[in-house]
Amino acid sequence: VSLYQMQGGYPIHVEFISYSHAPEKFDFAVYLDTIAKRLATAIGIDIQDLWELTGGTLGSGMQSEIMNRKARGKSLGLFYSQIERFINQILPEDVTFEFKFDDPQESAERAQAIQVWAGLVASLSNDLSAKERRQLLANNVPEFRDVLTDENGHIRTWDDVEQIDEDVVIPDTDIVDSDNTALADTTKSLGDTIGAFAQRMGRVLMGYADKTYTRFMARASLRTTLSVEGEKAYRAGKVKAGGAVELTRKDELELSRWRNEQDAYIGNLLDDVETGKLTIEKMPNRIGLWINKAIKGAYNLGTSNVSPNRFYMWRLGNTIDHCKTCLTANGQVHRMRAWKEAGVIPQSSRLQCGGWNCDCELVPIEGARLFGKGSLRNVK
């Protein structure tokens, strides 16, 4: 463009005026991304349906996989929804048909959440009873709710599971081996409990051996038998020690721990039956061991929780070969709480013999003034 000066003596001056320009530090890419997000929010759709993901490599392989899943889900979703509407038109009004889909990613995340809840509930075994822990699982994990609750939504107990088939025939033999089961100084109630336990356990083992019981049925029946008869033995122990037959919250927690301990041995017992290691001829002896370990153990547990400050003396039973723990404890006198804190209780798993053949007992000692005798530090 040529400029000509009309009047001399005045210099030529040109000034450019911009009527519209971008603000300082304006980023057009950020501006477009913001607009896309606002538009997606206003419409109510995913931003990926309008705009690509930003952030380096995130918008490549991962975004492609996500978009592929969404596109596939939309097409199938439309197809399935049309089928659902068609079927629901011909069904009664109180019946609704719908498809349920299995999402592997969602299933994996759900399994992880269930594992967290299961670990949390297991960690509360010393603070909550078994029923309370099952209730906690049922309330927070829908996958467990159908298993743990009945048709009325109430928590199932061990007494509610498969009942023992009374038609299973027991061989004509004495189930309880008197050489392995010491019944001296026990109440008639405990004797009845031991007899009932032996009969019921014998039926289950025989039924599992001849395939009348499935493994699930046998396990459930054994758990029921242990729960019912173990609680009876626990109550008998409380009464023997001068306590009330009713169970307190502390008693329920003790029984819950006892059940968990016994439950750990059921699988091995059924394995021995299944593999033929435990034959019919050996069953009476094995049942005698369970009576000694489980039922008498529950009885001693009930006794020990009544009078923790009462003095008791350890007395050897009729076993021929006593373990080192029982021999060292023999004749010692301590308060019941001291015996429990040391973990030295007849038929306990913490004994050197494991408690299976132990028929020792703690005998209450009466007297005007009593003092402990012996040291539990040497009892191992």
Q: Each residue of 229-264: pLDDT tens digit?
A: 999 999 988 888 888 888 888 888 888 888 888 888
Final residue of a domain: which of 306, 340, 372? Answer: 306
The percent of residues in the chain predicted with pLDDT above 70, rounded, is 74
The residue with tokens 């003034």 is 369
Q: How many CA atoms lie within 13 A of 300 on its CB side?
A: 29
Q: Structural domain tally of the chain?
A: 4
- Strand pairing class (361-364; 333-335): unpaired
My answer on whether 253 and 284 are in the same domain is yes
My answer on whether 205 and 178 are in the same domain is yes
My answer on whether 182 and 88 are in the same domain is no
Query: Quick check: 207 and 168 in contact, CB under 8 A?
Result: yes
For CA atoms 339, 342, 344, 345, give the dihedral sign.
Answer: positive
My answer on whether 326 and 294 are in the same domain is no
Q: How far apart are the first and last CA of the chain?
A: 111
Residue 34's pLDDT band, with cuts at 50, 70 and 90, is confident
My answer on whether 180 and 291 are in the same domain is yes
- For the chain, strand residue ranges (E) read 311-315, 333-335, 361-364
My answer on whether 241 and 117 are in the same domain is no
My answer on whether 6 and 70 are in the same domain is yes
My answer on whether 6 and 66 are in the same domain is yes
What local confidence, expressed as pLDDT, does residue 171 receive? 39
Q: 159 is written with which tokens?
A: 């007494």
Q: Return phi, psi of residue 372, to 5°.
A: -65, 155
My answer on whether 149 and 253 are in the same domain is no
**294 lies in some domain:** yes
My answer on whether 20 and 108 are in the same domain is no
Residue 302's pLDDT band, with cuts at 50, 70 and 90, is confident
Give whole-number Cα distances, 165 to 159, 218, 273, 288, in Å: 14, 10, 18, 21
**166 lies in some domain:** no
**165 lies in some domain:** no
**23 lies in some domain:** yes
**Which amino acid belongs to residue 167?**
D
Final residue of a domain: which of 306, 340, 362? Answer: 306
- Domain of residue 16 covers 1-97
What local confidence, expressed as pLDDT, does residue 293 receive? 84
Give whole-number Cα distances, 372 to 304, 310, 342, in Å: 17, 11, 14
**167 lies in some domain:** no
pLDDT in tens, 155-211: 765 444 444 344 444 333 333 333 333 333 334 467 888 888 888 899 899 989 988
What local confidence, expressed as pLDDT, does residue 373 receive? 65
What local confidence, expressed as pLDDT, does residue 270 receive? 92
**11 lies in some domain:** yes
My answer on whether 131 and 188 are in the same domain is no
- pLDDT greater than 70 at residue 73: no
**313 lies in some domain:** yes
Cα angle 301-226-312, degrees, rounded to a multiple of 5: 15
What local confidence, expressed as pLDDT, does residue 272 receive? 93
What local confidence, expressed as pLDDT, does residue 269 receive? 93
**162 lies in some domain:** no
What local confidence, expressed as pLDDT, does residue 18 receive? 73
- pLDDT greater than 90 at residue 19: no
Higher pLDDT, 265 or 90: 265
My answer on whether 88 and 112 are in the same domain is no
